[in-house]
Chains A and B, each alone.
Chain A
Amino acid sequence: MKILTLVRQVPDAEARVKISGGHVDLEGATLVIDGMDEYGVEEALRLRESGAAVEEIVALAVGPKRVEDALRTALAMGVDRAIHVETEEKLDPIALSRIVAQVAQAEGAGLILVGGQEADWDSQALGAATAERLGWPQLTWTNELKVEGDALTGRHDVDDGNESFRATLPAVVTTQQGLNEPRYPTLPNIMKAKRKELRKDALDTYGAAPTVRVVSSEIQTRARLNKMIDGKDPQAAAAELLDLLRNEAKVIA
């Protein structure tokens, strides 16, 4: 089985997001591999290490030149090969799923691992859209995964709890915290990664165009009251807070 794992590059969660000219400006921001995708890369490696018949693990990224760094991280973690579809175009998940599905088919992948939610677009759509294009089942928000032959079992989160599941490969799996603890690339592996194949594809090979246009972006901060109550006297503080909640905010009876 070949595993295709999606890698996206996003600003670090602690980084300050700037807006200029009505759009998000990543100039100067620390960019990292999306933590959710890291779970996917790690899980692919663990499946192979735990004895599943994994022929090859391929990482795919779509985006500008800088996205190479995220692919290099995946290669340094242990992925065998990388494909970079280089473009400045901002593709929404429905458009992006066209590329993922075509790469999966061309590579003969049997399992695709995708982050459960993107840290930049806050989207959960890529895994499901890709599964639909391929006519495959999908398991989202997965926190436990096992592959035996072409049987896929595990556990994932649903609306009101979690479910154990069984499905047959090929399938798309989206990740969730708790699936694993991603490894840090070691220096020898970072060196080795430099010699691994990183193929460049042009976007027009895939016929993917955005279906959603970003009109504008803004940072809306709700003005907060920032009323601080002295906590030295717990009884007095509690009484004051209750009074504010009851009579100023009017949120409790």
Chain B
Amino acid sequence: MILIVAEHSGGQLAKSTLEMVTAARESGREGPITVLVLGQGTADVATAAAGVADQVLVADLPALAQYNAELWAAATTQIAQEGEAHTVIIGGSRSGREFAPRVAVRLDAPYLEDAIGLKTSGEALQAQRYTYLARVTETVEAEAPVIVVSVKPGSFAPAQATGAAGEQYDVELDLPAPRVEVTGRSVEKSSRVALTEADVIVSGGRGVGSSENFTAYVEGLADRIGAGVGATRAVVDAGWRPYAEQVGQTGKTVQPKAYVALGVSGAVQHLSGMGKSKYIVAINKDAEAPIFKVADYGIVGDVNQIVPALIEAARK
């Protein structure tokens, strides 16, 4: 079977899980598509998963109320072994890419990390992935009785429900005691659409000028057109914006339909996080800024003048 570890938050199935189902269907690997739901209070998640999977295995336990790499790895490994999975698919989120390698080591399996494409080639499973700060697309392959894959968010279309709902089963797990104690948590909540799920992102760089300008122009435009808000590393380092909004090598990787970069110069590290966006829009007063090389639409001009005009025009 193909085992997919569901991603979910706030009691809802994440879009990334639907994308993993598509990856499984496109992989050419045989056997039922099985979604494993780990967590607490996951009834809605399991029901949503059943709409796209052949079967759903549910571990709805207090011990799984909070994600922990070792618990997730232990649970996934146990189910993969019991179900004789030949393919284990895990989300390419920060947490997914943290516990997936543990699963690979436990299963003595090769690990295809952060796949953007998946197919069978002879006996091997082939994945496409980005390397060199997303400047290179590499095709890699592995051949083994079981292979672990993580799937880059936004790389596959979300799976549509198949009609018949898959069966749901409760599973029992042997879980280790967590060894990392979480002593504090700061969740960066936003009333806006999550960055990795947004169709349109408005993002700001140092060229925006100040934290106040960022609020007025970047957030202002995002709210006007119903977009998510992103930021460059420089802006996060300057303390204007929270890290959760950072796009780039050390932040989030996004692939929206449109990425509107305001006062963003376009450093390689930033491009590696947004360069695959369908349309890129750049507004920057420096005509030489590298961002214009990857832009579909560019305006050389002052963000402080162009953006208020945009916000005003978008009202109509």
CB contacts (< 8 Å) of B110 on chain A: these are: 92, 94, 211-212
Assuming the A-B contacts A159-B94, A214-B138, are A119 and B183 also in contact, with contact meaning beta carbons closer than 8 angstroms in the complex? no
Asked whether A245 is an interface residue with its Cβ less than 8 Å from the other chain, the reply is yes
Is A165 an interface position by the 8 A CB rule? yes
Q: A125–B100 contact, CB under 8 A? A: yes
How many B residues face the partner with a CB closer than 8 A? 93
A224 to B266, CA, bound (A): 15
- A181-218 contact mask (Cβ, 8 Å, vs B): 1 or 0: 00000000000000000000000000000011111111
Cβ-defined contact, A213 with B300, below 8 A = no
- When A94-B111, A140-B98, A237-B301 are in contact, do A211 and B142 touch as well, CB less than 8 Å? yes
A56 within 8 A of B: no
B297 in contact with A137 (CB, 8 Å): no
**Complex formed: what's the CA distance from A142 to B268 in Å?**
23
Least CB distance from B75 to A in Å reads 14
- Our pick among B137, B200, B309 for the contact of A234 (Cβ within 8 Å) is B309
Among A123, A163, A212, which residue has its beta carbon within 8 angstroms of that of B182? A163
**CB-based nearest A residue for B301:** A231
User: A139: CB under 8 A from chain B?
Assistant: yes
Instruction: Find out whether the CB atom of B98 lies under 8 angstroms from the CB atom of A138.
Output: yes
Confirm or deny: B95 has a beta carbon within 8 angstroms of a beta carbon on chain A. yes
- B257 proximity list for chain A (CB < 8 A): 249, 251
Bound: A106/B55 CA distance, A:
45
B132 and A213: CB pair below 8 A?
Answer: no
Cβ–Cβ contact A249 & B296, under 8 A = yes
> Chain B nearest CB: distance from A135 CB in Å?
10
Cβ-defined partner of B281 (8 Å) among A123, A176, A245 = A245
Q: Are B137 and A219 in contact (CB under 8 A)?
A: yes
Question: Given that A238-B312, A242-B314 are known contacts, is A116 also in contact with B295, CB under 8 Å in the complex?
Answer: no
Q: Is the CB of B132 within 8 A of A17?
A: yes
A160–B136 contact, CB under 8 A? no
- Determine the residue in chain B with the shortest Cβ distance to A11: B132
B104 adjacent to chain A (CB < 8 Å): yes
Give a binary string over A131-154; 1 marks a CB under 8 Å from any B CB, 0 the rest. 111000111110000000000010
Closest to B126 in A: A215
Tell me whether B111 and A122 are in contact (CB under 8 A): no
Contact of A24 among B130, B132, B295, B301 (CB under 8 A): B132
A125 x B297 contact (CB < 8 A)? no
CB contacts (< 8 Å) of A218 on chain B: these are 136-137
Cβ-based interface call for A129 (8 A): yes
How distant is the Cα of A153 from the Cα of B182 in the complex, in angstroms?
10
Query: In the complex the two chains form, what is the Cα distance from A237 to B188 in whole Å?
Result: 34
Whether B131 lies near A164 (C-beta < 8 A) is no
Interface size (A, Cβ < 8 Å)? Answer: 79
* Residue in chain B with minimal CB distance to A133: B105
Do A157 and B243 touch across chains, with their CB atoms under 8 A apart?
yes
Instruction: Give the CA-CA distance A222 to B275 in the complex, in Å.
Output: 9
A219–B314 CB distance below 8 A: no
Give Cα A238–Cα B298 distance, bound, in whole angstroms.
Answer: 11
Interface readout for A7-35 with B: 1 if CB under 8 Å, 0 if not?
Answer: 00001011001010000100000000000
Among B279-316, those with CB < 8 Å from A are 279-281, 283, 285, 292-302, 305-306, 308-310, 312-314
B27 lies within 8 A of chain A by Cβ = no
Apart from A158-B95, A238-B312, A252-B226, what 12 extra A-B contacts exist at CB < 8 Å? A11-B132, A119-B249, A129-B102, A129-B111, A165-B182, A217-B131, A226-B296, A226-B298, A227-B298, A238-B309, A249-B257, A249-B258
Q: Say how far A221's CB is from chain B's closest CB, in angstroms.
A: 9
Q: Is the CB of B137 within 8 A of A13?
A: no
Question: Given the complex, which residues of B lie within 8 Å of A140, measured CB to CB?
Answer: 69, 94, 98
In whole angstroms, what is the CA distance A129 to B113 when docked? 12
**B60-103: which have CB < 8 Å to A?**
67, 69-70, 73, 93-95, 97-102
For B244-267 the 0/1 string (1 means CB < 8 A from A) is 100001100000011000000001
User: A226 to chain B: which residues have CB within 8 Å?
Assistant: 292-293, 295-296, 298
CB distance from A104 to the nearest CB of B (A): 14
**28 A-B pairs in the complex with CB atoms less than 8 angstroms apart:** A13-B267, A93-B111, A119-B133, A121-B131, A122-B133, A137-B180, A139-B180, A140-B69, A141-B94, A158-B95, A163-B183, A165-B180, A166-B181, A168-B179, A212-B142, A215-B140, A219-B135, A219-B137, A224-B280, A224-B293, A226-B295, A228-B299, A228-B300, A231-B306, A239-B313, A251-B200, A252-B200, A252-B225
- Bound Cα distance from A97 to B132, whole angstroms: 20
Whether A120 sits at the interface, judged by CB under 8 Å, is yes
Q: Does A244 contact B (CB under 8 A)?
A: yes
A168 to B94, CA, bound (A): 22
Considering the chains assembled together, what is the distance between the CA atoms of A97 and B142 in angstroms?
A: 17
Across-interface contacts of A121 in B (CB, < 8 A): 131
Could you say which of A128, A229, A238 contacts B69, with CB atoms under 8 Å apart?
Answer: A128
Q: Does A180 contact B (CB under 8 A)?
A: no
Chain A residues with CB under 8 Å of B186's CB are 161-163
Q: A120-B132, A125-B113, A215-B140 are in contact. Are A227 and B313 (CB under 8 A)?
A: no
